[in-house]
Every structure is written in structure tokens, then in C-alpha cells.
Amino acid sequence: MSGTSELKIYNSLTSRKELFKPLQKNNVGIYVCGPTVYNKVHLGNCRTFISFDLIVRYLRHLGYNVRYVRNITDVGHLEDDSDDGEDRIAKKARLENIEPMEVVKKYSDDFHKTLRKFKVLPPNIEPTATGHIIEQIELIKKLIDSGFAYEVNGSVYFDIKKYCESYEYGILSNRKLEELLKNTRDLSGQSEKKEPFDFALWKKASKNHIMKWNSPWGQGFPGWHIECTAMSLKYLGNQFDIHGGGIDLKFPHHECEIAQGTALNSVPPVKTWMHTNMLTLNGKKMAKSTGNNILPEELFSGTNKNISEAFSPVVTRFFMMQAHYRNQLDISQDALNASKKGYQRLIKGYKFIDNLSSNYIGKSIFDVNEAISKFYYAMNDDFNTPVLIKELFEALKRIKGLSINKDFINKDDLKKLQNTFRVFLFDILGFEVVEDKNDTDEYLNKTVSLLIELRENARKNNDFKKADEIRENLLSIGIILKDNKNGTRFELK
């Protein structure tokens, strides 16, 4: 394995950082809850997938063989995240007067297109809930046979009280059964359950329900939670290393996954649970209903009313990496502008190192190994990207100091540093060198304005030869100077 320290990951299940040791040597199984594809993916969702992209990239860099599974939810996710309300995709299909799978295709394509812009690598496997109906039915049958589930009027529910006779429900979110019983409201449609906190594994479909399948209990559709258990068990086994998702999925979704997996196989299904925190906008929770919301495409084009300036995907990715994935992050135009400047400095610094002149080759005064070890220490501390970025800037500062202090770095150290920067910036952090047209235009304007000023000074001093040289040299590279009574302006050929 690469790196200079051991990787520690914060486990949401135990609320502490733990030394990471995969269940199978050199092999890592990771499952991340993907989107429910009934609408365009929002920026908060993107933060989760960008965070886990970084995690997968780093695990692979360390030498692990990673099987990354990220699902698509295309059925079963009801409006209130419980067992009531309309299926989100079916509702969208009804409102747009199209087939549910047209909704799925439309918004799956949008999801993939957006993540490609953010340089997010695709998972090894991207299963869909509708593609695994048979597997879900088989698991539900097994839960019924073992006494952990029961059927009522064509619907099947998980029996939490029965589960709690052998195991503990609520270990991820730190909720107790008594608390659940006290806080659960008796909602309409819950009366057929043994207890109001029991959750649906299979729901009976009404005659008007669009998405339904045949099952031993009649026509219906799977519950939201069973799909992830079915897909993760199929592709990663009864136990796997890492399960991730947004913090909003801790309860009830991930809690129910733990109960289902444990009841099925008598072992907890996941070793390490990881959760990303929320992205807020201008200090407030994002919500379409209040207008405090932003889509990625609006950010890239500068068409959102909250953030009017356009920011590139790579600057947005850098902005997200400047906060730890477990910390809440607030997005604003000022914060993005600061990130834009920071990213430009980082890339310019990388270019400086990559093109460092042989004039600075000599006996090293800069401990390159120590600097590199700090990069790894940051990432091995629960993927601490803010500290990593700080250490990258610190190393750049030291290298740039060579030209100021007339110091040296030996050839091997320089090559090692160049390669390490390349790996961390592009392979691990997922950045890229992108020329910003607006920035290019700004620098062009400033440069030509300076030359126009020098030309004007030459003319005032009757140095017409110098003034003509400036004009002709600019013309030779396609910049035309035009004099008028208001001064001199320029245009490109």
C-alpha cells in the first residue's frame, strides 16, 4: 500500500475514527445510496457523490481493489420517506403525462451528465431497484419465514419488536424503541401494521398505481429500504466494508438497512458507515419551496437568482473540497469567488513546479519527503481535504521561495514532488487544468492597456520609433490598436 501513515475513517456507527482494515485483504467493497431519479440532481446531492468519488479515488491510490456500487432508485421512494404518499417517480410521470421509465431515463441522463462535468468517476456497478425486483421478493420471503416480517392485506412489513428480541434497532441514529413508540404518530394507512414504527417491505398496489409487479402477496411494489439491502448483498456480500450516503439517510433508511441485513444473515451488513453533511445556500437550508435552491447547471451558467456569477464545475469541486465531508458547508457567491482565486493560485503553483528551471537544481534545502508525508497524513485522517489543500499551498510556498532566496532542490526531489502534486491534484482530488476565458480576457485587457500606456508615454516623449514598434509588435500577434479623440482602444483580428 502507498502512503506514509495508516488510514483512519470516522464510523458513524461508533461515532469515532477507526483504523481501516478491509474484510478481505486488499479488496474494498463500498456501497453508496444513489439518487431517486424523479427530478434534476441538486447541488447538495452532488456534494455527496463528489465526496465519495474522492474516497474511492484515494482508496484505489493506496492500492486497494475497490468495487464501488452506487444504485439508482427508480421505484419505491414515497413522498414522505416512509410508507405513505405517492411514489415520486410515478407522480412525476402522471404530472408530465409520460411513462415512469421515461422519467427515469430523462433524469438518470441528467444525473450522469452533471457528475461527468464534476469529473466524478462512474461506479463499477450501478444497479436499479426495478432491475432487482426478484431479489427483493426473495429477501422478503426469507424475512417472513424467519419471523421478522409479516403480511397484511397484500402488504408486507418488517416487525421491529420481533427484531428487538434478538438485536438492537436504532444503533446508527441512537434511537431507542421506546422513543420511537412515543414519537410515532398514528398516520392513516398505518392501522394494518402491528406497530406504527414497523416499515414496509412490500406495498399492495391500488388499481390506479402505475408501477406494480406480481408477487406471492399480490400485485404491488417494493419498499424503499429493501432495494438497497437486495443490491448491496448481491454485489458485495452479506458483509462489506463501507456504506455511504447523505446524513439525511441515517434515519430511517440506513437504520432499516441494518435491521434487514442483520435479520437476514445474523451479522451486521456493514463494517463502516460514512455520512456526508448538508450543503446550505446563503446560510439557509436549500428548498425549492422557498426559492433558496440552486441546480448545478444554474451555477455553471450564472443564471440562478441567488448566485448570479457563473462558476465552473472544477471551481465548485475545489470549493467543496475546502470543507471536510462531515462538516456542513454553506455556498455563496463570495465563498465561490474566494475558491476561484484559490484554485487559480493552486494551478499556477502546480505549473510553476512542473516547469521549474534547472537554475534551481542543486543541494536540497527543502525536505520533500516531509512535505509529502503531510499530504498523506491529511488524507489518512478521515480524508481531510481542507488540511491537504493547506499543505499543498505550504509546499508551493516553499518551492516558490527558491527563486526569492536563491535556494536549491535536487533533481530527484523535484521529480518526486512534481509527480506527487500531479497525483494528488488530478488523480485523487479530481481537479483539472482549465483555462478560464473570463480570466484570460481580463489578463489580456490589463496587458494591452499597459502597452498602450507605454506607447502613449513614448509618443509624449517624441520617441515615435518605440511607439511604432509597440503598435507593429501587437499587430504581428493579431492585436490592432485604433486611435481616436477619446484615446486608444484595441480589437483582435
Per-residue pLDDT of 365-408, as tens digits, reads 778 999 999 999 999 999 999 999 999 999 998 887 766 655 67
| Average pLDDT over every residue of 139-146 | 98
Copy the grid coordinates of residue 272. 463502516
The model's confidence at residue 446, banded by pLDDT at 50, 70 and 90, is confident
Q: Please report, for residues 36, 85, 176, the alpha-carbon distance to residue 149 in angstroms, rounded to integers and kept in the order given.
A: 25, 22, 20
pTM for the model stands at 0.85
Average pLDDT, the chain: 90
pLDDT of residue 473: 87
**Looking up cell 452479506, which residue turns up?**
238
- Characterize the bridge pairing of strands 329-331 and 284-285: unpaired
Cβ-count burial of 111 within 10 angstroms (0-12 exposed, 13-18 middle, 19+ buried)? buried
Taking the CA atoms of residue 402, residue 404, residue 406 and residue 407 in that order, the dihedral angle to the nearest 10 degrees is: -30
The model's confidence at residue 210, banded by pLDDT at 50, 70 and 90, is confident
| Average pLDDT over every residue of 335-356 | 93
pLDDT of residue 3: 53
Query: For 220-224, 299-303, 359-363, 413-417, which range has the lowest pLDDT when averaged over its residues?
Result: 359-363
Q: Rounded CA gap, 101 and 89, in Å?
A: 9
What region does 98 belong to: left with phi over 0, alpha with psi -120 to 50, or beta? beta
Could you tell me where the beta strands, DSSP code E, fall in 153-239? 155-158, 199-204, 220-222
Query: For 41-50, 124-133, 202-211, which range has the lowest pLDDT when averaged over its residues?
Result: 202-211
Helix ranges, 237-312 (H) = 255-265, 296-301
| Average pLDDT over every residue of 35-52 | 94
Q: Please report, for residues 194, 202, 229, 238, the alpha-carbon distance to residue 159 in angstroms, rounded to integers and kept in the order given.
A: 8, 13, 16, 21
The model's confidence at residue 189, banded by pLDDT at 50, 70 and 90, is very low
Query: For 101-110, 251-260, 387-396, 407-416, which range has the lowest pLDDT when averaged over its residues?
Result: 407-416
Q: Rounded CA gap, 482 and 422, in Å?
A: 44
Rg (CA), the chain: 28
The domain segmentation of the chain, as residue ranges, is 8-276, 281-428, 437-492
On the question of pLDDT at 151 being above 60, the answer is: yes
Q: Rounded CA gap, 330 and 340, in Å?
A: 15
Query: For 110-119, 390-399, 481-490, which range has the lowest pLDDT when averaged over its residues?
Result: 481-490
| Average pLDDT over every residue of 69-86 | 78
CATH code reported for the domain at 8-276: 3.40.50.620
Q: Rounded CA gap, 238 and 23, in Å?
A: 11
Q: Please report, for residues 36, 76, 212, 231, 435, the alpha-carbon distance to residue 72 in angstroms, rounded to integers and kept in the order given.
A: 6, 11, 18, 10, 34
The model's confidence at residue 357, banded by pLDDT at 50, 70 and 90, is low
pLDDT of residue 188: 45
pLDDT of residue 440: 54
pLDDT of residue 367: 87
- Please check whether residue 349 is in contact with residue 355, taking contact to mean a CB–CB distance below 8 angstroms: no
| Average pLDDT over every residue of 24-44 | 94
Higher per-residue confidence, 321 vs 181: 321
> Tens of pLDDT along 218-236?
999 999 999 999 999 999 9
Select the CATH number that applies to the domain covering 281-428 from these four: 1.10.730, 3.40.50, 1.10.3470, 3.30.428. 1.10.730
**Looking up cell 532542490, which residue turns up?**
409
* CA 177 centroid distance within chain: 33
Q: Rounded CA gap, 272 and 18, in Å?
A: 9
